[in-house]
Amino acid sequence: MIRYMPVRWLCFSVVFVLSFPTVACQKKQAPPAQELAPMDRATPLTPVGTSQTILQKTFALTATKTFPFTIPAHSAAPHLHGIFASFVRNTGGGESDDAANVDFLVLTQDQYDDFSHGRQSEALFSVDASHNQAVNVDLPSSLEQGSRYYLIFRSSPGGDPKKVVEANFRVDF
CATH, residue 104: 2.60.120
The band of 66, judged by pLDDT with boundaries at 50, 70 and 90, is very high
Structural domain span for residue 60: 47-172
Does a structural domain hold residue 37? no
Report yes or no on 40 lying in a domain: no
Number of structural domains found in the chain: 1
Q: Give the global pTM.
A: 0.70
Looking at the domain assignment, is residue 42 inside a domain? no
Classified as helix, coil or strand, 10 is: helix
C-alpha–C-alpha distance, residues 80 and 52, integer Å: 10
Nearest Cα to Cα of residue 80 among 56, 60, 53, 120 = 53
What span, in angstroms and rounded, lies between the C-alpha atoms of 47 and 77?
A: 10
Work out the burial of residue 71: count CB atoms within 10 Å of its CB; fewer than 13 is exposed, 13-18 middle, 19 or more buried: buried
Classify residue 15: in a domain, yes or no: no
Decide if 119 is inside a domain: yes
Q: Give the per-residue pLDDT at 58.
A: 97
pLDDT band at 50 (very low <50, low <70, confident <90, very high): confident
Tens of pLDDT, residues 69-101:
999 988 889 999 999 999 997 645 555 678 899
Residue 68, number of CB atoms within 10 A of its CB = 13
Q: Share the mean pLDDT of the chain.
A: 81
User: Comparing 157 with 1, which gets the higher pLDDT?
Assistant: 157
Query: Looking at residue 158, what is its pLDDT?
Result: 76
Residues 123, 106: Cα–Cα separation, whole Å: 6
